[in-house]
Amino acid sequence: MATQGRTLPIGPTDNTSEQRTPRARLHLIPTAARASFVPFVPVRGSLRQGETDLTRVTPDRPRAQGTAIEVSGTVRTASGTPVRGGLLEIWNANTFGRYTHIEDCAPDVPIDPNFLGMGRVETDEKGQYCFWTISPGAYLARPDIGRWRPKHIHLSLAGGASRLITQMYFPNEPNNVTDPMAILMGEDFHRNIGVVYQTPERDVDHGYRFDIIVGGRNATFFE
Amino acid sequence: MTKKANTLLATNEDTVGPYYPIYFADEMYEDISRIHHGVSVKPEGQAIELTGRLIDHDGNLANGVVMEFWQANAKGVYRTPATVDDPHLDPWFDGFGRVRTADGHYRFRTIMPGAAPGRAPNITITLFSDGISRIVTQVFFEGEAGHQSDPLLVSLPAPERDKLIARKTTTTTGARGSRVYQFDIVMAGKNETPFFDDFES
């Protein structure tokens, strides 16, 4: 059992990390207050039709530019229990490395009129999920020092006491090794890289398996 | 940290980045003091607004932060698998909220939480932001009872405790006369807000 809380690391060459990472050591939570720190997120259906296929803005519209991929896997807690009915929120840049988010003002990087880049999917009874998207482009995150963000897909998972925000990275990408968050993960980084598989007879180029394990004491608090 | 046998290694948390889709925002999570403007039933309790600023290491506003809130109902009961049969559950209150601040100012509408056994009224706040994975803290309310004996507050050095107390203002807003509480969060540096280790503790 830990006797003192962590000091959070700061992502190298990440200015926002310098600005926003608490400097003081985190305080431990006394046992008597522990339960109050475990949010239990209510399940509320709010999915829209076609949201699991990010390769089209709506099912009747054309395919976006770039390589269509499938991403699938299971979501479990560290003890192996499937996270059922969990809400997975997904967002990624288009094939050129541009988000449709209103605050992404990247100059000279085009918007694809057939790509929104945001979707949602629920995990099933076995904790499984599957969605389609466009393989995202890398983008220049720090023009001043020439640092790129590697290709990645953002994933946010909420289900019961399980809460995780993470990113899936791609194998053999040259920018992986210079990414501040990947550097902080160190040898654990490989667990955040999708594993390629083939997708015969499905209307995507190939797939990535990305199994998600939600760790920490919160995730298993009510098991 | 030692791992128990049969424990799967967790996926690493990663930063939410600057582009969490505003598209996913849900009004029902931004104002949990009511169900919907078209619905007559509502949670029991005093409507409140928790409002303030998120401030970074240099004293600037921190934009684009996703804030999640978790609290007990007016009778001090959290809605969890452990309380499904509790007669004091409020049918119109889940206790979970979420807002994304565009420019570093935030406003969350809810009801004053009741005191859970042994605790002073509080709301857990989780922050997801570009540059960090997540940080968590709890906010307490000026004028509410139990601060002297709350186990979380008394676990902190005395100068830190005041940093977790939202200040009661004289302002009320809205048709329900919501009481407004002011609470700034300093993410890093001078006057940094105390944060807690939810994963390792």
pLDDT tens-digit readout, B60-71: 999 999 999 999
Q: Closest CB to B26: pick one of A27, A29, A46.
A: A46
Q: Tokens 């280790």 map to which residue?
A: B197
Contact (CB<8Å) A34/B201: yes
Q: Which residues of B touch A18 (CB under 8 A)?
A: 57, 131
HSE at residue B52, side-chain half, CA atoms within 13 A, is: 20
Task: Give the largest Cα separation in chain B, rounded.
Answer: 55
Residue B172 CB neighbour total at 10 angstroms: 13
Q: Give me the residues paired with residue A93 across strands.
A: none
Q: Closest CB to B8: pick one of A76, A216, A217.
A: A76
Q: Closest CB to B201: pick one of A18, A29, A118.
A: A29
State yes or no: pLDDT of A223 exceeds 90.
Answer: no
Euclidean distance between CA atoms A180 and A145, whole angstroms: 13
Going by the DSSP 8-state scheme, the letter that residue A187 receives in this structure is G
B87-97 tens-digit pLDDT: 999 999 999 99
Q: Closest CB to A166: pick one of B14, B131, B199.
A: B14
Contact (CB<8Å) B192/A163: no
| CB < 8 Å from B in window 5-34 of A | 5-6, 8, 11, 14-24, 26-30, 32-34
Q: How confident is the model at residue B200 (pLDDT cuts 50, 70, 90)?
A: low
Q: Closest CB to A29: pick one of B10, B17, B196.
A: B196
Contact (CB<8Å) B10/A217: no
The per-residue pLDDT for B171 is 83
User: Is residue A13 a contact partner of residue A140, using CB atoms and an 8 Å limit?
Assistant: no
Minimal Cα distance from B3: which residue of A?
A: A78
CA–CA min distance A206, chain B (Å): 23
Percent of chain B clearing pLDDT 90 (strictly above): 86
| ipTM field | 0.95
Contact (CB<8Å) A37/B24: no
User: Is residue B121 a contact partner of residue B141, using CB atoms and an 8 Å limit?
Assistant: yes
State yes or no: pLDDT of A74 exceeds 80.
Answer: yes
Q: How confident is the model at residue B158 (pLDDT cuts 50, 70, 90)?
A: very high
Q: How confident is the model at residue A1 (pLDDT cuts 50, 70, 90)?
A: low
Of B7 and B118, the one with more pLDDT: B118
- Angle, vertex CA B164, rays to CA B158 and CA B165, nearest 5: 100
Euclidean distance between CA atoms B24 and B105, whole angstroms: 19
Q: Would an 8 Å CB–CB cutoff place A99 in contact with chain B?
A: yes
State yes or no: pLDDT of A54 exceeds 50.
Answer: yes
What value does the mean pLDDT take over residues A189-203? 97
Which of A3, A37, A47, A139 to mutate against chain B (most B CBs within 10 Å)?
A37
